[in-house]
A and B are shown apart, each in its own frame.
Chain A
Amino acid sequence: DADVTQTPRNRITKTGKRIMLECSQTKGHDRMYWYRQDPGLGLRLIYYSFDVKDINKGEISDGYSVSRQAQAKFSLSLESAIPNQTALYFCATSEGGRGLYTGELFFGEGSRLTVL
């Protein structure tokens, strides 16, 4: 089984619908992240969480919200999806805390979202 699991892997929805992407991990890492990948733009950070009570906005958080339900679970929500949110979304984890932190990320396989 994958260490970082994302569901759903593919989703097609309509403008205005609420969508939730879920991520769970078995690596025991404190830190979890949501990135968005668009062709030619690389990966851009949406939200990140250093622990259950520490959630931070990334560079493109508008239109998104997150929930860290437990150390192992981090969900991304699109409250009212729009077509320019069509993208490939990645969840990732990393070690945390001084002495452990290197920045190295461990990725899920991605969730492809299409908003019509």
Chain B
Amino acid sequence: AQSVTQLDSQVPVFEEAPVELRCNYSSSVSVYLFWYVQYPNQGLQLLLKYLSGSTLVESINGFEAEFNKSQTSFHLRKPSVHISNTAEYFCAVSDHRTGRRALTFGSGTRLQVQP
């Protein structure tokens, strides 16, 4: 079964600083990768996804993540964060060889943007 590791449970950062949230997954030849964001008292929203093609994927609000197959990683980055980016971020993986498995989530990273 797939597993996902988010190494940092909390990441404090000052506004306008760059940030990287780390995600590693257990090895598989065929995976889809996702980052979801959860704002306080809300459900999860898809931030970005890697299905195939370019290994660098971007969101509409300035986040990007790079699929690194050799390191089995899918780290999330933003060059300059805003107070509004304060939220919990979840990395998730899907093994699509059979299509019969549900998404597996990491334990989450709480991003705290300080003024």
Contacts and interface: CB of A to CB of B under 8 A. Distances in A.
B90 A42 contact: yes
Contact of A45 (B49, B51, B100, B102): B102
Contact of A102 (B42, B45, B94): B94
B102 A101 contact: no
Interface string B65-96: 00000000000000000000000001010101
B43 A107 contact: yes
B44 A90 contact: yes
A3 to B, nearest CB: 11
Contacts of A96: 99
Interface size class of B (residues with CB under 8 A): 20 to 34
Contacts, number: 61
B114 interface: no
Interface residues of A, number: 26
Most buried by A among B9, B32, B92, B105: B105
A104 B46 CA distance: 8
Interface of B: 6, 9, 32, 34, 36, 42-46, 49, 51, 90, 92, 94, 96, 99-100, 102-108
Given A104-B32, A105-B46, A105-B103, 16 more contacts: A33-B102, A40-B9, A40-B108, A41-B107, A42-B107, A43-B90, A50-B100, A90-B43, A94-B103, A98-B99, A102-B94, A103-B34, A103-B92, A105-B92, A109-B43, A110-B43
B44 A107 contact: yes
Most chain A C-beta atoms within 10 Å of own C-beta, residue among B9, B42, B107: B107
